[in-house]
Chains A and B, each alone.
Chain A
Amino acid sequence: MCGIPLVNMLLYPRHLFTDPEFLQKGWPAWFQNERPLNLEIGCGYGHFLSYMARRFPEQNFIGLDIVNKILRQLGRALERDGLNNARVCKLDANLALRELFPDGSLANLYILFPDPWFKERRLKRRIMRAETLPEMLRVLAPGGHLHFVSDDADYAQDARLLLDSCPQLKPVPFPEIEVRTKYERKWLQQEKQITRLSYQLELPQKPSETWPGYAVTPVIPLHDWRAEQAEAFWKQFQPLKEISEGWIIRVLACYYAADEGRLLLRCLLAEEGALALHFWLEVSAQGQLELARGSCLPRLRHRQILLEKTARLIESALT
């Protein structure tokens, strides 16, 4: 059983990225079964998610969104309706795809009425674009389906061109789904043209990645650390910044607990295509860098690398 009751349908990053059972078993830990997994990116009020969970009780459904208010509402509705085969998560979609889904783990990926990001300079925020497609293909199971629906003609056209040009995908008829989401009803009332695209992953994927067992929380030793350095580092602290490929780590603030000789660091991770987030690190009197108790760094595949980079950043400030 994971760290929160099964009836709690709304998961925050800390539930996923810090729960030992999830870290060992992946999504089956939450659903307590190995049924086919489906993901909806941008589930909003969850009309579609609820409908699908009810219609296909033999499958599991995950909805991603980032708006607290509607997620809470949806979580309560799922709980009230007893839909134990559905969960909603407050997670950035790119982050979730990259960090939380092993190869070939999804039977269906649904992207319904995503934000078209009209302005030219914001096109890179679109969820469906050439840069994000490889991760979507990676997480789809062989024979799995990718579904995309949009009321925006330009976005739909771009998506169609992108997906049609992908040799691993074969266009298939859009499945019959009776439910209409809030926005879909609105667009239909406005007589907007709605484009529905479905593709099947045709080429066999490489064998599924074994769930890598991310349960290890890294502890990174700082090289040549001496206990007295903690206080010196703290007294002379200046914000630190490390820029690597695609992301920036900033150490924004430093605090000291003199009685324990420990440092507490407030950090920010800004990553291209994902929401910036704060996290806390601690340095023990022995110079061991690790995530502070209760802090969540929602990265699994890259957690070790990020902590190592931060350790080297601290070391460079010490020299």
Chain B
Amino acid sequence: MSHFILQTQLTPHTLLEAFPQLKAQNPGFVRAWLSPNGREILLEVELDLGDELRTEYLSLQRQSSGDLIFHLLSGGEEIPFKALSDTLQRLLNWLLSLEPHAHVVRHTFGQYVTLPATSLHGS
């Protein structure tokens, strides 16, 4: 499962409040959904795969440790990382713009996302 873990004070509620800003700047982000316990926000995105537009759901879940873990909730069909990279980069940039001191402590995106040098503590 592709994921990254962000050490941050951001919560799904704060992300929900800030979502209109992300949507305004990046029309590919369509809607935001909140889980009943408020610990998970689901971002509905429209991916441009070249010959088609595809809807996927990106989950950001607050862990008991305080970290925010991101993963893609795919319907089981493989998505090429290259097609995701732009969306992931925008998402990460948005998160870091909300909290510049947030740290990516782990990720599995390899070369597809550019992380600020100060952000990445390990992968």
Question: Which of B70-78, B85-93, B95-103, B115-123 touches A?
Answer: B70-78
Verify A4–B51 contact, CB threshold 8 A: yes
* Chain A 251-288 near chain B by CB (<8 Å), digits 1 or 0: 00111111010001010000000000111100000000
Looking at chain B's contact residues, the main secondary structure is strand
CB distance from B51 to the nearest CB of A (A): 5
Verify B36–A260 contact, CB threshold 8 A: no
Verify A295–B73 contact, CB threshold 8 A: no
**Docked complex Cα distance between A266 and B56 (Å):** 12
B77 is contacted by which of A14, A237, A254, A258 (Cβ under 8 Å)?
A: A14
CB distance from B54 to the nearest CB of A (A): 6
Q: Is A234 an interface residue (CB 8 A)?
A: yes
Verify B76–A3 contact, CB threshold 8 A: no
* Chain B 59-88 near chain A by CB (<8 Å), digits 1 or 0: 000000000000001011110000000000
**Docked complex Cα distance between A5 and B34 (Å):** 36
Verify A292–B55 contact, CB threshold 8 A: yes
* Chain A 7-32 near chain B by CB (<8 Å), digits 1 or 0: 01000111000000000000000000
Q: Is A293 an interface residue (CB 8 A)?
A: yes
Q: Is B42 an interface residue (CB 8 A)?
A: yes
Verify A264–B75 contact, CB threshold 8 A: no
**Docked complex Cα distance between A12 and B51 (Å):** 14
Verify A254–B36 contact, CB threshold 8 A: yes
Verify A258–B51 contact, CB threshold 8 A: no
* Chain B 40-52 near chain A by CB (<8 Å), digits 1 or 0: 1010101000011
A257 is contacted by which of B31, B40, B57, B78 (Cβ under 8 Å)?
A: B31
Verify B32–A257 contact, CB threshold 8 A: yes
Verify B55–A234 contact, CB threshold 8 A: no
Q: Is B25 an interface residue (CB 8 A)?
A: no
Task: Report the nearest B residue to A8, measured CB to CB.
Answer: B51
Q: Knowing A13-B77, A266-B73, A277-B76 are in contact, say whether A255-B55 is a contact too (CB < 8 A).
A: no
Task: Report the nearest A residue to B55, measured CB to CB.
Answer: A294
Which residues of A does B touch, CB under 8 Å?
3-5, 8, 12-14, 68, 90, 234-237, 253-258, 260, 264, 266, 277-280, 292-296
